């Protein structure tokens, strides 16, 4: 079992204490009770499978959240931009994978961070990238570690698992100056899977792709110490991770409506929400207007392709309890339109001008990116315990 101490958040900044009624809206709330449960759940699931967790910090973009989810203050961690790598390095995190295919011009920044003592590894899937990493390594006198990305499901980028010649060629080009640290994949296709059996198949396909790729490299006399997999759906459904050394997942720390639609979590596991204020009514249309539009929620409509279309978000009361079949059905830049879900027989709640609601997001990463900070709360409490800064950009 995971102890409470292992999933506890950093000490709260009591000077920031306020109530929800004191906050300017729209703003982003973070329920750390839910966040801690989410973190503990994945740790407990991975422990018997014998792998380590390298959380993806692109969802949180926050030092406080990073410290809550990582196994040590130094990492390990995954990032999606070099700005994230720099930001977290400034906070003392020094074991990082930059998990987006490396552009050669970015290698100067990689070298700069490595000179600061950051064990920063990059990802690649072409001979040209491997040659660039090798050349930059020779020039810097530092063997930059890289992982070869494997395409486990045709979702995005990477070397096909069975493309033996290309895999070996990339590895050989890389070790002419750089360090071949291992292989890495992301089962992005799992976001479209439905049901435990389908998700378990995705997880096994993900595992098999990198384990097979690692075997090819080793048989060719090339090193492959790290075998890395990662997606929130597969991390929660893998039955066997033999041959895998680490799991990368990110959105599990908060969850969102897309993950609920996939079946990975429940609505009441979602840890972030947007606090909004009622600013008007169009009663003949069945509308309640709030001050949270797509600038606050993002334009991500990920649930539109799922069985239940949640519009721009699920509407909850100020304590975080969802109203029956009430969604943010439409959004302009700064206006949100709350309606009862089409086809439902439920009635609009009696929300008056000035009332507050919490809106659960479709995509936690996208909604988080619209805000500069988290206002930390515990469950249904209206007390704001702290404000944690987050960052964005590249």
Is residue 244 in a domain?
yes
Is 230 inside a domain boundary? yes
- The DSSP code for 137 is H
- Rounded to whole angstroms, the Cα distance separating 186 from 246 reads 12
CA separation for the pair 45, 51 (Å, rounded):
10
Q: Are residue 88 and residue 143 in the same domain, yes or no?
A: yes
Chosen domain end from 249, 275, 292: 249
What end-to-end distance do the CA atoms of the chain give, in Å? 38
- Whether residues 179 and 306 fall in one domain: no
Tell me: do 88 and 225 sit in the same domain. yes
Mean pLDDT on 31-51: 98
Residues 190 and 94 in one domain: yes
Q: What is the CB neighbour count within 10 angstroms for residue 291? A: 17
Residue 166, domain member (yes or no):
yes
- What is the reported pLDDT for 155? 79
Contact 294, 331 (CB under 8 A): yes
In this prediction, residue 288 carries a pLDDT of: 99
pLDDT at 98: 99
| Residues 229 and 319 reside in one and the same domain | no
> What's the CA gap between 143 and 247, in Å, rounded?
24
My answer on whether 284 and 310 are in the same domain is yes
297 with 231, same domain: the answer is no
Residue 191 placed within a domain? yes
Q: How many domains does the chain have?
A: 2
**Pairing mode, strands 179-185 and 145-150:** parallel
Q: Are residues 104 and 73 in the same domain?
A: yes
**Tens digit of pLDDT for each residue in 295-311?**
999 999 999 999 999 99
* 246 beta partners: 52, 228
Torsion on CA atoms 39, 187, 313, 373, rounded to nearest 10: 50
Confidence of residue 12 (pLDDT cuts 50, 70, 90): very low
Q: How many CB atoms lie within 10 A of CB 81?
A: 18
Residue 153 has pLDDT above 80, yes or no: yes
pLDDT given at position 343: 93
Report the chain's mean pLDDT, rounded to a whole number.
95
Residue 283 near residue 370, CB atoms below 8 Å: no
How far apart are alpha carbons 206 and 299 in whole angstroms? 30
CA proximity to 322, closest of 302, 304, 336, 340: 340
Per-residue pLDDT at 1 exceeds 90: no
369 and 311: one domain?
yes
Residue 368 lies in a domain: yes
Reply yes or no: is the peptide bond before residue 26 cis, omega within 30 of 0. Answer: yes
Nearest to 31 by CA among 68, 78, 82, 76: 68
Residue 2: the pLDDT is 38
15 has pLDDT over 80: no
Per-residue CA distances from 350 to 70, 319, 323 (Å): 43, 16, 11
Q: What is the CATH number of the domain that holds 280?
A: 2.40.37.20
Domain termination residue (choose one: 249, 282, 302) = 249
**Domain CATH code at residue 163:** 3.20.20.10
20 in any annotated domain: no
Q: Are 315 and 196 members of one domain?
A: no
Which of 151-155, 323-327, 378-382 has the least mean pLDDT? 151-155
Q: Where does the pLDDT of residue 16 fall: very low under 50, low under 70, confident under 90, or very high at 90 and above?
A: low
Task: Give me the sheet containing 77-79, strands edge to edge.
Answer: 52-53, 246-247, 226-229, 179-185, 145-150, 119-124, 95-101, 77-79
pTM confidence score: 0.93
Same-domain check for residues 348 and 228: no
Distance CA 44, CA 122 (A): 28
Cα gap 234→255, rounded to integer Å: 14
Q: How many residues does the chain have?
A: 394
- Domain extent for 176: 56-249
Residue with tokens 């429940």: 266
Q: What is the pLDDT of residues 244-292, one digit of tens each?
A: 999 999 999 999 999 999 999 999 999 999 999 999 999 999 999 999 9
pLDDT of residue 154: 87
CA–CA gap between residue 237 and residue 255 (Å, rounded) = 15
Which of 31-40, 79-88, 192-201, 221-230 has the weakest average pLDDT?
A: 192-201
Q: Is the pLDDT of residue 6 over 90?
A: no
For residue 384, the SS3 value is strand
> Phi and psi for 26 in degrees, rounded to 5?
-80, 150
């Amino acid at each position: 079992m995971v102890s409470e101490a292992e999933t506890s958040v950093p000490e709260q900044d009591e000077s920031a204490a306020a109530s929800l009624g004191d906050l300017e809206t729209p703003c982003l709330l973070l329920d750390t009770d839910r966040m801690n449960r989410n973190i503990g759940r994945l740790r407990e699931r991975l422990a018997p499978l014998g792998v380590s967790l390298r959380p993806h910090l692109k969802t949180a973009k926050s030092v406080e959240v990073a410290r809550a989810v990582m196994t040590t203050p130094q990492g390990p961690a995954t990032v999606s931009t070099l700005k994230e790598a720099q930001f977290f390095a400034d906070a003392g995190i020094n074991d990082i994978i930059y998990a987006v295919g490396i552009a050669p011009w970015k290698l100067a920044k990689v070298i700069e961070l490595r000179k600061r003592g950051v064990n920063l590894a990059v990802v690649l899937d072409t001979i040209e990238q491997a040659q660039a990493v090798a050349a930059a390594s020779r020039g810097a006198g530092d063997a930059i570690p890289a992982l070869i990305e494997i395409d486990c499901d045709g979702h995005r980028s990477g070397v096909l698992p069975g493309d033996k010649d290309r895999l070996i060629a990339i590895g050989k080009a890389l070790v002419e100056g750089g360090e071949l640290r291992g292989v890495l994949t992301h089962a992005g296709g799992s976001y479209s899977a439905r049901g435990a059996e389908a998700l378990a198949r995705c997880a096994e396909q993900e595992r098999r792709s990198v384990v097979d790729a690692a075997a090819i490299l080793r048989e060719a006399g090339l090193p492959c110490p790290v075998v890395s997999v990662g997606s929130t759906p597969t991390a929660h459904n893998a039955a066997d991770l033999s041959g895998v050394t680490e799991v990368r997942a990110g959105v599990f720390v908060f969850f969102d409506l897309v993950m609920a639609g996939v079946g990975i979590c429940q609505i009441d596991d979602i840890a972030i929400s947007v606090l909004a204020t009622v600013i008007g009514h169009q009663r003949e249309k069945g509308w309640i207007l709030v001050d949270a539009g797509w600038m606050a929620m993002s334009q991500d409509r990920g649930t539109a392709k799922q069985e239940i279309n949640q519009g721009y978000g699920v509407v909850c009361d100020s304590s975080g309890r969802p109203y029956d079949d009430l969604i943010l059905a439409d959004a302009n830049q700064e206006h949100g339109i709350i309606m009862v879900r089409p086809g439902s027989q439920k009635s609009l709640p009696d929300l008056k001008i000035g009332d507050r609601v919490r809106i659960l997001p479709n995509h936690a990463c996208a909604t988080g990116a619209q805000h500069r900070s988290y206002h930390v709360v515990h469950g249904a409490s209206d007390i704001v315990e702290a404000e944690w800064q987050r960052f964005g950009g590249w």
